[in-house]
Structure 1
Amino acid sequence: MSLHADAVLVLKSYEDQEELRQTYLDHLAAHPEGMWKACADGHITASALVIDPEQGRVLLTLHRKLRMWLQMGGHCEPEDASLAAAALREGTEESGIPGLSLLPGGPVRLDRHLTPCAWHLDVQYAALAPAGSVAAISDESLDLRWFGYDEVADVADESVVRLVRATRDRL
């Protein structure tokens, strides 16, 4: 199955955010290339909020280009077999934590936002960090830091706060 077809299936089975979900599906129907960064009208991205529920914290990256505290995530790559695989790859690459596992149940949220390259139609997952995980900063980050759930609103924008809230509700 192609990544495009997987994204359509994932979005069709996602039961929240009906209007935004339909926007994503309409985008994919109109843009066969809508999974890739080269699609100037916007593209699907995949992200993973790395979470440590035992310690009540999330790992955020200070994004090198955007200069904002965000969850791990980014563009889909041709080798990604699925949106979930793309989110897990991004989470692992940007956190430096091996052995992440996605929270069951599919995406946690959708978030559409304008970036310097185009609109990102982000499909947001949550990834559980193994006990004792040690994060390692990547080239894409200026910093990488664990934040308690209640600290996120002090450093990140409302989209990240909503993602943390939705993830906690799913736990």
Structure 2
Amino acid sequence: MAKAGPPHHFTASVFVLDQTREHVLLVLHRKAAMWLQPGGHFEAGDADVAAAAAREATEETGLTGIRLHPQLAGLHHHPLAAAFGRCRSHLDLRFVTVVPQDAPRVSEESLEVAWWPIERMPEPTDPDLLPQLRRARQAH
């Protein structure tokens, strides 16, 4: 589960939806060079998987008071580009939260952070993101 662990490891992320569930908050990821949901690696101080996901979402968006839906929204396995160093793939545990559409802030891991209509996603993004978002917003 640790970033320093094996080249294939778990991460945690969050689909941050607005209260209408029509918009999603995405980050333009610096290493991946695409729009993705906030998330990342586990740290020693994380109490559990949900705590890691909430911490990552807070760090990457600047939003505070993030409370996750307790049920996982999904698990996604994806290979990584060479920019990720020794990490070769992530098994990403995905959660959902619904928050007011407040102004986010950019972290050092991201080039930009913005709200997007789910049905008009930005490019480039992971092609699996839209179908997963649609399922997550209906289930949560």
Letter of the 1:111 counterpart? H
Separation in 1, partners of 2:78, 2:21: 30
Structure 2: state its 5+ residue gaps: none
The higher relative CO (CA closer than 8 Å, separation ≥ 6) is in 2
Question: Retained in 2: the 8 A contact 1:153–1:161?
Answer: no
Residue 150 of structure 1 corresponds to 119
SS of 1:90's equivalent in the other structure is helix
Q: How does the TM-score come out when normalised to structure 1? A: 0.73
Q: Segments of 4+ in structure 1 off by > 6 A?
A: none
User: Do residues 118 (structure 1) and 88 (structure 2) align?
Assistant: yes
Partner amino acid, structure 1, of 2:125: A
Alignment length, in residue pairs?
135
- Unaligned runs of 5+ residues in structure 1 are 1-34
Deviates more, 1:67-76 or 1:151-160: 151-160
- Please give the secondary structure, in 2, of the residue aligned with 1:158: coil
| Structure with a larger share of its residues in strand | 2
> Taking structure 1 as reference, are residues 65 and 84 closer, same or farther at Cα in structure 2, changes over 3 Å only?
same
CA distance in 1, matches of 2:34, 2:125: 7
Q: Is the 8 A contact 2:34 2:123 kept in 1?
A: no
Equivalent of 1:68 in 20, 34, 47: 34
Give the Cα separation in 1 of the matches to 2:15 and 2:9: 20
Output one character per residue of 1:84-129: Cα deviation in whole Å (capped at 9) or x when no partner: 000000111101101111124x210100111232211110111222
Q: % of aligned pairs identical?
A: 39
Q: RMSD across aligned C-alpha pairs, in angstroms?
A: 1.6
